[in-house]
Chain A
Amino acid sequence: MSFLDVKDLKIHFPTDDGVVKSVDGLTFGLERGQTLGIVGESGSGKSVTSLGILGLHKGGRAKISGEIWLDGEELVSAPAEQVRGLRGKKMAMIFQDPLSSMHPYYTVGHQIIEAYRIHNAVSKQVARKHAVDLLGRVGIPEPGKRVDSYPHEFSGGMRQRAMIAMALSCDPELLIADEPTTALDVTVQAQILDLMRDLQREFNSALIIITHDLGVVAELADDILVMYGGKCVEYGKTDEIFYNPEHPYTWGLLGSMPRLDREPTERLLPIKGSPPSLINVPPGCAFHPRCPYADRTEGRASTEVPDLAPTERGHLVRCHMPRTERRSLWENEIKPVLETQ
């Protein structure tokens, strides 16, 4: 069993308009020292997944089923108090928007010290010293002075560093970063990505990075899980997903991005239509209304949900098209077009 094992995780929200199936049967595993990138568009269920692992849907209206095993402990059926004891210490989260996820009335130091003292019986002085150390480690200049600053006195990049320091305060073994660099400028993004990579190496923690930016996952991730409409559509090693993707949605994502590392093309190759509503996920394969190859499945695309099946190269793909056909499409039609870009 891996360090983190998620099995058939379902997170559904009953609403007046129907059940929102935000996460619908997600299975993945992660070892210490490894990084998993979860990629998807807005509404694909990637953030709900991360909140679910942290147990932050407990006590709400969410209906959660499946299993989440973290280092031998099952979290879905565990009482809320037990999961709260793990949060901060065993697992921690870096949120997307540091301005709205820090308390504006308390100093940055206070917020780090608070988290540290909940899990460690130490004096305020010791905790404060720890907070100063951490701020220094994440690259905040003059940490001894900055520890008494309020969040609004920090720039965006510094706030994100402070968030990282807060998440790391108890040396968590599992770190979840939800769009950690989306709100930042590129030069600052590059600094933060470097920092996360270095810290992960140092602490040997398991890292889940959630993003819509394929560039960011290419930089950091060992494995990639592509989500669409609450389900995993493709899951495998980073190199496999980038160089031998087999799901038409992954092809679509790769074709939609203008790339700096290739010659500019005349046109981008977008995916037609827009992402589905999670209340009315299209029947069968959720991607079929947008899929250019839906007619190659003998009508099964709109009636049957495809299985997440292994390819001969060892990664998992949820698609009705026969494997040989997918391979030949990728090799002969998709890859040449993408590579001339």
Chain B
Amino acid sequence: MSNERNDDPFETGETSTGSLNPSMTAATTAADDDVVDDTQAENAIELREVEGLSQGQIVRRRFFRHTGAMIGLVVLILTAVLAITSIGFTLGPIRIPGWWQYSHTQLNPILNPRGAPTLTWPWDSAGFAIGEHPFGQDEIGRDIFARTMKGVQTSLIVMAVIGAVATLVGTLIGAFSGFFRGKVDTVLMRFTDLIITLPVIVIGAVLGKKLGAADPIPLALALGAVSWTGLARLVRGDFLSLREREFVDAARVAGASTTRIIFKHMLPNAIGVIIVSVTLLMSSAILLETALSYLGFGIQQPNVSLGQMINDYQGAFNTRPWLFWWPGLFIILIALCINFIGDGLRDAFDPRQKKIPSARKMARADRRAARVAARATA
């Protein structure tokens, strides 16, 4: 065993930094010129794919090629559009009505026994039909479709607010910490450690007990204010390595202010880490809200959120499944979409997890390289 240790990172003395600087891809490939053949082949494939493209284009291209992420994105947008247009929304004094005939608070006569859904599938004897209350009604006749849509709106808002707050706080703290280092870093990181000492759900439960019943926004703000820690650590790590890079020195020599260096030069380079981390954070935010509702410390009546709906109706699991399954389905759908989008973004931003080319592809690249070489010598 010992005689083969030299392959391991134990003695390589170098570590990859995980940076996403635009110049990086090219630099790496250039540096690798003199390594073994198959590496060259890999790089040849990679180079050919990204030839003449800016970093943004490369990322976009990779992202759009990621099937899972694209499906996720489309489904998520469709869901949001459905939720917003169907029952409309209220923005302060303005109320924009939707095309769905019922509101989520309105009491309607109960159509089917126990409020069963009127939605029938193509394989049902009655054939496909949407009917008056496709998702069914609760015991006092409220339309579950309208409520689910309202829940989707709330959950999306909660998710967005948590995401926004966490991004803002996490990025700023991480950026300052990593850029200034020293005392600032110590103070900020100790502060981060303070927040990180408890699982988010535990702090969430404590905060939720006070804030849960009210408007969802304060709860979301509070949850956002405690869920930025992971992001801050990542951004800090990125900034620590970025600040040692030449382009930062160049900016400094050119007389750029600190703010400008941080926000104009370094932040764009850390954007990949931020976006990926925030996406994943948002998908866990929606589940966090659900879990808090289950524990009784989340969003409560008369507000409607998906988590609160499945929690309120979990008793109906066996008896009136439509009260439980529809909101549950939307939670899973949203979380799933966001996870796939996050995965796609990670793949797009992070070239280190690039696809290992198949043997066949490499062989083909080899042949091509040989042909090119032959032609060059000829």
Question: Is B a genuine binding partner of A?
Answer: no
